[in-house]
A = this chain, B = another copy of it.
Amino acid sequence: MPNLQAIVDEIYARLRPRLGEGKVADYIPQLAHVDPKTFGMAVVTVDGAVHTAGDFDVPFSIQSISKVFTLTLALGKHGETTWNRVGREPSGTAFNSIVQLEQEEGKPRNPFINAGAIAVSDLVLAGHTPREAIGEIVRFVRYLADDESIAIDPAVAKSEEATGYRNFALANFMRSFGKLDHPVEHVLGVYFHHCALAMTCTQLARSGLFLAAGGRIPGTGHTVVSRQRARRINALMLTCGHYDGSGDFAYHVGLPGKSGVGGGILAVAPGRASVAVWSPGLNHNGNSLIGSLALEMLANRTGWSVFE
Contacts and interface: CB of A to CB of B under 8 A. Distances in A.
Contacts of A252: 232
Interface centre among A90, A100, A169, A245 (most CB of B within 10 A): A169
Contacts of A270: 306-308
A235 B250 contact: yes
B308 A307 contact: no
Interface SS of A by simple majority: helix
Contact of A92 (B91, B245, B271): B91
Interface centre among A87, A165, A166, A308 (most CB of B within 10 A): A308
Contacts of A235: 247, 250-251, 254, 305, 307
Nearest to A163: B176
B248 A88 contact: yes
A172 B164 CA distance: 9
Nearest to A165: B176
A116 to B, nearest CB: 12
Interface string A82-93: 000001111111
Contacts of A239: 90, 238-239, 246-247, 250
A121 interface: no
Interface residues of A, number: 52
Interface in A217-275: 227, 230-232, 234-236, 238-240, 244-248, 250-252, 254, 256, 270-271
A308 B250 contact: no
A169 B172 CA distance: 5
Interface centre among A88, A93, A231, A244 (most CB of B within 10 A): A231
Interface in A21-65: none
Contact of A109 (B92, B169, B254): B92
Contacts of A248: 88-89
A48 to B, nearest CB: 19
A173 interface: yes
A236 B93 CA distance: 17
A305 B173 CA distance: 37
A176 B102 CA distance: 18
A70 interface: no
A89 B239 CA distance: 9
Nearest to A305: B231
Interface of A: 87-93, 97-100, 102, 109-110, 165-166, 168-173, 175-176, 184, 214, 227, 230-232, 234-236, 238-240, 244-248, 250-252, 254, 256, 270-271, 305-308
Given A97-B102, A168-B184, 8 more contacts: A88-B248, A89-B244, A90-B90, A90-B247, A166-B172, A172-B172, A235-B307, A270-B308
